[in-house]
A and B are shown apart, each in its own frame.
Chain A
Amino acid sequence: DQQVKQNSPSLSVQEGRISILNCDYTNSMFDYFLWYKKYPAEGPTFLISISSIKDKNEDGRFTVFLNKSAKHLSLHIVPSQPGDSAVYFCAARWNYGQNFVFGPGTRLSVLP
């Protein structure tokens, strides 16, 4: 039973437009959420995170929104660039510990 879900396996977006990647979780004990980007044959690279006490965090072109009541978070990338094409993983930390659970990933393709 997946505790962190990314229901869109893939997403295609035109360069310059907004990319929205979604993530849902089932366990209310998750207290901290992260987004990672992964290129083939490389390890995941940290992008942006959000604590469960916040509802928005912004860093340059990347913004993460958290809706605790819906157990939903989203990553907005604007404007999207071809170099953003990668697999994006949502991850959640369980109860302030060191147990991080990853979603299955969404493959983003930004078309020039």
Chain B
Amino acid sequence: DTEVTQTPKHLVMGMTNKKSLKCEQHMGHRAMYWYKQKAKKPPELMFVYSYEKLSINESVPSRFSPECPNSSLLNLHLHALQPEDSALYLCASSHPGLLQETQYFGPGTRLLVL
């Protein structure tokens, strides 16, 4: 099973809303990632959790708040977003520390901020 699931698939929110994106994997991976992808651009790394601890924060604004409740789950809490935050948000997971570490991606959540 190499599946990473993400919910919801689509999300529309206003600038004053609070919402959360969810990601789940059952591959026993201990590293989980959030990426942001704008149209016709590559995925850009936002956060990395390794063994449930935040290991990388790529200077992401505080209106994005990640959370890793356990080794299988990753959340991204959204608050007071801006229209320019509209994008595809991708979750990925991997076995950290492997010489040939491969990331497996979920299908993404397409977010529209009005």
- The chain A residues found within 8 Å of chain B, CB to CB, are 4, 32, 34, 36, 41-46, 49, 51, 89, 91, 93, 96, 98-105
Contacts and interface: CB of A to CB of B under 8 A. Distances in A.
Interface string B28-40: 0001010000001
B45 A99 contact: yes
Contacts, number: 61
Interface string B56-97: 100000000000000000000000000000000010101010
A100 B102 CA distance: 10
A43 B33 contact: no
Interface of B: 4, 6, 31, 33, 40-45, 48, 50, 55-56, 90, 92, 94, 96, 99-108, 110
Given A42-B107, A43-B90, A89 B42 contact: yes
A89 B37 CA distance: 12
A49 B48 contact: no
A104 B37 CA distance: 11
